[in-house]
Amino acid sequence: MTSSPLTHLTRNARLDHFYIDGKWQPPQGSERAAVVAPATEERVCEIALGNAADVDQAVQAARRAIPAWAATSPLERAALLGRVHALLLERSELFAQALTLEMGAPISYARTAHVPLAAEHLRVARDNLADYPFIRPRGTTAIVREPIGVCALITPWNWPIYQITAKVGPALAAGCTVVLKPSELSPLSALLFAEIVHEAGVPAGVFNLVNGSGAEVGAALSAHPQVDMISITGSTRAGVLVAQAAAVTVKRVAQELGGKSPNLVLPDADLERAIPPGVAAALRNMGQSCSAPTRLIVPRAALARVHELALATLAQMKVGDPNDAATTHGPLANRAQFLRVQQMIEAGLQDGARLLAGGPGRPDGLAQGYYARPTIFSEVHTDMVIAQEEIFGPVLAILPYDTVEEAIAIANDTVYGLGAHVQGRDKDQVRAVAARIQSGQVHLNYPAWDPQAPFGGYKQSGNGREYGVEGMEEYMEVKAILGYYA
């Protein structure tokens, strides 16, 4: 039987160590931080927090490992990724329990989404190495792709292991070495990941992990002169701070930041097929997804039916103990996010949006834990706070429109451009509308998730791309060798 992640990590003395240069090492400072279970608000353990000295130690290890790792063949790198992939699947239950404990993911959702989708990023990185042309001809010139070098990877608390594999997989595939800084709010799954990377046989220094805050470890990584690239997933504010610190050393910065994604339902759409999945997508993971389609843009003439379908979908959701297999929605991941969601719900009420369901406070019967009420506002105007600011919680805004031109304008009336959805029967119209939406991804009629589809933002949602071949190429430099084929 699988032991609990906390028991496992405590027994193996991982909570107060970092993984640097192929081994678990104690921190150079004494600062600690509590890990709080969002379902109970109880402190479940403490982890060590790193400082600039820990960061330098990890970066130097990654720098030493670069020549040998970059010289390995794609076949060797693919084999390592394959072993990490197999170990993640083998220990999937341990990872699922860690996610439920550290960020409140319902155990059923951790098992069916968080962990298997994370594993897919490793599989894709492995498989893309099979036939990727690191050298390709262009006339008599060779276009060569080479690893950029030492990469600092900063990952968030909302999809902890998913975002780790989305960065580590392609970075290692490209031949880079990495220093990972996971969120200090959800660090347990990251420590488990370091274990399986070690057991898979990663050479010393190729993968390193330092826990710590953004202000300390994140800033030190961003400014370090021997870090060649930073990849961050987080808030737009955090992305700006990282870019500012990185600018001094002119390192590459890839950012996957905030979102306020539209879901545009065209007049000919089948509402029974368009609305329920849209509500579910907006509130999935308690709305803690940067690409969640939290602006549902619908024909004004269909508003009454949209309300009926949205409320019926909401009624099927169960907010509660994330360890209960019947729970569909657990708590928000931390106290700060709980307070943020409450503030934004109040802003919606103050701006005069129509409250269809939910509202401030916790759901009935849940007096403890960072539980929020899944909330739907309707008759929202695009200039309202809840239509413009990223809430990162279970709050859906329904915005009515009168013409398709107006609907497209509403969809693009945001500083963000990460994800978008379009629903409709006429394929030509759906495609034409998708072409006019300013967003890095557009989903037409709820397609299956595609781990090969590049993911990233327009505008303040960031720059660069993750997933698929494009995600691997972010970690490469391009060299032109003229006369190579002369």
Question: Are 411 and 387 spatial neighbours (Cβ–Cβ below 8 Å)?
Answer: no
Spatial CA neighbour of 298 closest among 266, 330, 325, 276: 266
Cite the residue boundaries of each domain of the chain with CATH code 3.40.309.10.
262-450
Choose the catalytic residue: 256, 390, 473, 474.
Answer: 256
pLDDT at 43: 96
pLDDT tens, residue by residue, 159-181? 999 999 999 999 999 999 999 99
Alpha-carbon span 57 to 59, nearest angstrom: 6
Cite the residue boundaries of each domain of the chain with CATH code 3.40.605.10.
5-257+462-481
pLDDT band, residue 68 (cuts 50/70/90): very high
Residue bearing tokens 């657990």 = 330
Rg of the chain (C-alpha set)? 23
pLDDT tens, residue by residue, 70-103? 999 999 999 999 999 999 999 999 999 999 999 9
pLDDT tens, residue by residue, 437-464? 999 999 999 999 999 999 999 999 999 9
Question: Are 54 and 210 spatial neighbours (Cβ–Cβ below 8 Å)?
Answer: yes
Residues 6+ apart with CB under 8 A from 79: none
pLDDT tens, residue by residue, 265-322? 999 999 999 999 999 999 999 999 999 999 999 999 999 999 999 999 999 999 999 9
| Mean predicted lDDT score pLDDT of the chain | 97
Alpha-carbon span 230 to 252, nearest angstrom: 6
Highest CATH level, class, for 5-257+462-481 = alpha beta
For residue 258, the tally of other CB atoms under 10 A from its CB is 25
- Indicate if the pLDDT at residue 3 is higher than 80: no
As its CATH architecture, domain 262-450 has 3-Layer(aba) Sandwich (3.40)
Q: Is 256 a catalytic residue?
A: yes
Residues 6+ apart with CB under 8 A from 439: 261, 262, 417, 418, 419, 420, 457, 458
End-to-end CA distance of the chain: 62
pLDDT at 11: 81
pLDDT at 10: 83
Question: Are 186 and 157 spatial neighbours (Cβ–Cβ below 8 Å)?
Answer: yes
Please give the torsion angle defined by the CA atoms of residues 95, 257, 450 and 274, in that order, rounded to the nearest 10 degrees: 110
pLDDT band, residue 220 (cuts 50/70/90): very high
Token pair recorded at residue 211:
């826990």
pLDDT tens, residue by residue, 22-53? 999 999 999 999 999 999 999 999 999 999 99
Which residues pair with residue 241 across a beta bridge?
Answer: none
pLDDT at 431: 98
Residue type, 424: G
Comparison of pLDDT for 66 and 4, the residue scoring more: 66
Q: Is 216 a catalytic residue?
A: no
Choose the catalytic residue: 45, 151, 176, 290.
Answer: 290
pLDDT tens, residue by residue, 374-408? 999 999 999 999 999 999 999 999 999 999 999 99
